[in-house]
Amino acid sequence: MLRLRAITAVAVSVVVCCAPVYAAPGPTTAPLGTVVAADRAHVGEAGANVGTTVYSGDRVSTDLQGSMQVRAGSARLLLLSSSAAIVDDNSGTPSARLVLGTATFSTGNAHAFTLFASKAAIRAQTDAPTIGTVVFVSEKELVVTARRGSLTVTVEDETQPIAEGASYRVLLDPADPQGPEGAGSGKHDRDKGSGGPLAAGRSRFLMLATGMIIAGTAIAVYKAMESPDRP
C-alpha cells in the first residue's frame, strides 16, 4: 500500500510539473499595424477604434460615410467610405489588397508599403515621401493617382511610372492594347497633348491619362495623413 501511494505521489508531481509546459501558448503573430483614426470602421467583424491592433490577414473596412487610417511602420493606409482591404506582411514589408472602394497610402521610402488591387501592385517609385490613391472600379479597371511623389504600377513583369500630380485609368487585360498598327503607343497622342495611352504593344495593361490633380488637394491629403509628431 505504501509503495502504491509513493508511486501515485510521484505521478501526480510529474503531471503538475509538466502542466505549465503543455499549457504554454505557442508563438504569437507580431502586430502589423495600429489604427490611428476610425469612424464607422471595422477590423474583421469588430468595430475599430483608435489603438486597435491590426494583424497580417485582417480585413479592414469602412461603412458608408466611414473612414479609417492604419499606421504600419513608416507607411499609412487610409480607407475612405464603403471600402475594404486585406492587410498583409509581404516578405517583411507591410502591404494591403484593396478589394472595394478607395484607398490612399503614404510612405516614407520606396520599400515601406505595397498596395495591391486586382492584378496590379502600386508602390512609391523613390524614397521621397509619397502619397498615392487607388480606386477599385472593377477587377479590370483601377484609377491610380500620384498625389505626392511618383508611383509605379506593376502587372506581372511590366512596370509603368506615374509622375507626381498625374492620374490614370489602369485597364487590366485589355482586349486589344495594340489596335491598328502604331495605335495605342500613345506617343503620337501624347505629342499632341491628348493624354493617350501610356503603355502599348503587348502590354498586360493600359494606362489612360485622366488629368492632373489640383496641388491644393494633394497638400490637404498629405496634411491629413501626417502624424502629429511627423515620424
- If 0-12 CB within 10 Å is exposed, 13-18 middle and 19+ buried, where does residue 143 land? middle
pTM: 0.73
Does residue 188 lie in a domain region?
Answer: yes
Q: What is the CATH number of the domain that holds 41?
A: 2.60.120.1440
Q: Is 218 helix (H, G, I), strand (E, B) or coil?
A: helix
Each residue's pLDDT expressed in tens, for the chain with a length of 231 residues: 545 444 445 444 444 444 444 444 434 578 899 999 999 999 999 999 999 999 999 999 999 999 999 999 999 999 999 999 999 997 788 999 999 999 999 999 999 999 999 999 999 999 999 999 999 999 999 999 999 999 999 999 899 999 999 999 999 987 654 444 444 444 434 443 444 554 444 567 899 998 776 654 444 554 556 543 444
Q: Is residue 201 part of a domain?
A: yes
Would you say 8 and 14 are in contact if contact means Cβ atoms under 8 Å apart?
Answer: no
Question: What integer pLDDT is reported at residue 205 of this predicted model?
Answer: 86
- Whether 123 is in a domain gets the answer yes
The model's pLDDT over 23-51, given as tens digits with 9 standing for 90+, comes to 444 345 788 999 999 999 999 999 999 99
CA–CA distance, 124 with 140 (Å, rounded to integer): 22
Range of the domain at 46: 33-225
In a domain, 202, yes or no: yes
Residue 105, helix vs strand vs coil: strand
Domain count, the chain: 1
Instruction: Give domain status of residue 112, yes or no.
Output: yes
Q: Which of 54, 212, 204 has the alpha carbon at shortest distance from 118?
A: 204
- The H or E element spanning position 8 is helix 2-23
**Which residues have a Cβ under 8 Å from the Cβ of 164 and sit 6 or more positions away?**
146, 147, 148, 149, 150
Residue 92 lies in a domain: yes
pLDDT digits (tens, 9 = 90+) for 99-111: 999 999 999 999 9
